[in-house]
Every structure is written in C-alpha cells, then in structure tokens.
Structure 1
Amino acid sequence: MMWLSKLVSFARNRRGASAVEFALISPLLAIALLGIAEVGQVAYQRTDMHGALRSGGQYVLNGGRDLAVAREIIVRSWSAMPEDARVEATRFCLCGSLAHACNSPCSGGSVPEAYISLSAHATLGGIVVDYGDSADDSIRIR
C-alpha cells in the first residue's frame, strides 16, 4: 500500500505542471514562428523585385529610352536578386489592341502607339524550405 500512497501523492503534486505545458506548446509556437518568417521572406523578395521594376520604370518615365540602361537599373536596384532571375526590357507598338511594327503607320494612317515593357521573373524561396515559387512582375509604359 505504500506504493499506492506515493502514486496518489505524485498525481496530486502540481509542481512542474507549467514546465510540462510549455514543453507541449513550445514546438507549436516554434513552427508558427518559422511559418511567419517564411511568409515574410517571400513577401520581402516579391516587394524587392517589384521595387526594382519601379526603378527601371521611373527611368523610362523621366525620358530614358535606352533599354539596356533600364535593364541595368533594374538589376542594380534588385538587392536580393536570385541567381535564376531574368530581367527583360522590350519596346513594342500597338495599333488599337493589335501588335504592329513601330516603323510603319497603322492601317488608318495613324501612328502606332509605342510602349516599353519591363518584366522580371525569379524563383522565390523561403528561409527554411525552398518552395520553388516562381514570380513574374511586369510594367508597361507608354
């Protein structure tokens, strides 16, 4: 019967209950914290890519027409540029909603509208897990 009284005494003892509860909850808290960090990292990478495109777009809006310079501005502004990132700067013309050669008039004799397209593509990854999430972003400037 002595062992029974020790078992009852052990069951009634509440010292250390907080430590056990913390041991059960702390893995869940750690996983939640890592999840928040993962989402934050991907959001930062997307924002960084978009900000770099805006820098190139600002160059074009201020009168810059050299596509190589616009591309270089984007590459230099992209602070956390992944290794597989691609940046493209292209010029194209439209007659209405149809693609048209920039050096010839539209069918009605009007001048085609000229645009510059700046685009970026990259595979974004998290801190812990690399999802291989690809992101595309582009802006079109008239």
Structure 2
Amino acid sequence: MGHLVRHPKLGARPMVRAGTAALRDDRGVSAVEFALIAPMLVLSLLAMTDLGLAISERMTIGHILRAGAQGATHDIGVSAIDRILRTTAAQNMTLATAGTQGDDATLALDVGTLCNCAEEPDVAVACSTTCDGGTPTQIFYVLSAQKTYAGLLLPRFSQSKSIQVQVR
C-alpha cells in the first residue's frame, strides 16, 4: 500500500491530478492580495491626512485674520490690530519674530493701511488727501498672513491670505 503504480494506459495522471489540486488550493490568497494592496492604502491614508492638515492650517490662518478684521472695524489702530493678530496666532500657530527670517514653519503677519478716492478705487493716495468734490478718502486696513506648508507627502507650498477692511 502507499506505492504508486504506473498503469501503462494512465501514464502520469496522478501527477497531473496533484498539480491541479495544488492550483485549486486557495489558502493564502487573501494574504497575498493584502500584501499587494496595503502599501496603496497606507499611502492614500497619509495623503488624505496631509491634505486635511493643510486645509486645517488654511482655516486657522483665516480665523486669525478675521479676529484682526473685527478689531479693524472699530478703527483701533494698526498696532492694536497687530496685537490682536499676534495674540490670536500665538494661541494657534508658531509666529515669525520681527526682524528675523524665520523658517518655513512660521506664520508671517502684516497690518497696513490703504487710502483711495471713491472715484478711483485702484489708485492709492495719501490718507490726508481730499478727493474730488471735497469728499474724504476711503481708509482701509489691509491684513495679510503667509505661511509655507511643508507636509508629509505634499510638496512645499505657500499659503497666503489677506483681508481688506474699510473704516467708516
């Protein structure tokens, strides 16, 4: 018993049967499929996380500028608005210190004023200028922020945003 006897008419059929049985065996197929798909899943998860962090950072920059714009509507002055921006940013991000280059992970903030006449809104004039018809100039606060996003998979890119608020 246990000996394989070759029948002259059957030839190597028992060997063929053993080979086809091995091909029908599907044990381990799911492990191989997972090994092929897992790197793509991990890469897509990292990419989505990276994109989510970039969007969150952009929303935080917008929040910081809106806090400064709220102060600008009350015409409290450039230094007070700058203080509001920096206080709000300090709670949420790393700030670039004045006078230093800073690295890409820092947020650069700027507050300025812009004046123009209603007749020519694209032309900046001195705020003490009297416009045509004796009307005073329109005064705006311009608040801007810039930060370079350095993600895990996304290439480095600059996120900059600005808000212009008219003083009434």
Q: TM-score, normalised by structure 2?
A: 0.74
Equivalent in the alignment of 1:51: 63
CA-based RMSD: 2.0
Residue 89 of structure 1 pairs with residue 111 of structure 2: yes
What secondary structure does 1:40 align onto?
A: helix
Count how many residue pairs are aligned between Structure 1 and Structure 2. 140
Distance 1:129 1:71 in 2: 33
When residues 72 and 10 of structure 1 are mapped into structure 2, their CA distance, relative to the original with a 3 A threshold, is farther
In structure 2, relative to structure 1, the CA distance for the partners of 1:60 and 1:111 (3 Å cut) is same
User: Which residue does 2:101 correspond to in 1?
Assistant: none
Write out per-residue CA displacement over residues 28-70 of structure 1, whole angstroms, 9 at most, x where no aligned residue.
Answer: 1111111101110110111111110011111122x14221221
Q: Deviations over 1:97-127 (max 9, x none)?
A: 121111121243221111111111111122x
CA contact (8 A) 1:100 1:106 kept: no
* Equivalent pair of 2:147/2:160 in contact (CA under 8 Å): yes
- Structure 2 residue ranges without an equivalent (≥5): 1-11, 95-103
8 Å Cα contact 2:50/2:154 also seen in 1: no
- Aligned ranges for residues 23-102 of structure 1 at < 5 Å? 23-61=35-73, 63-78=74-89, 79-81=92-94, 83-96=105-118, 97=121, 98-102=123-127
Whole-angstrom distance in 1 between the partners of 2:50 and 2:108:
23
Aligned twin of 1:109: 134
Match of 1:71, SS state, is: helix
Q: Which has the larger radius of gyration?
A: 2
How far does residue 23 in structure 1 lie from its aligned partner after superposition?
1.1
Give 1:134's aligned amino acid. Answer: S
TM-score, length of structure 1 as denominator length:
0.86
- 1:20 is aligned to 32
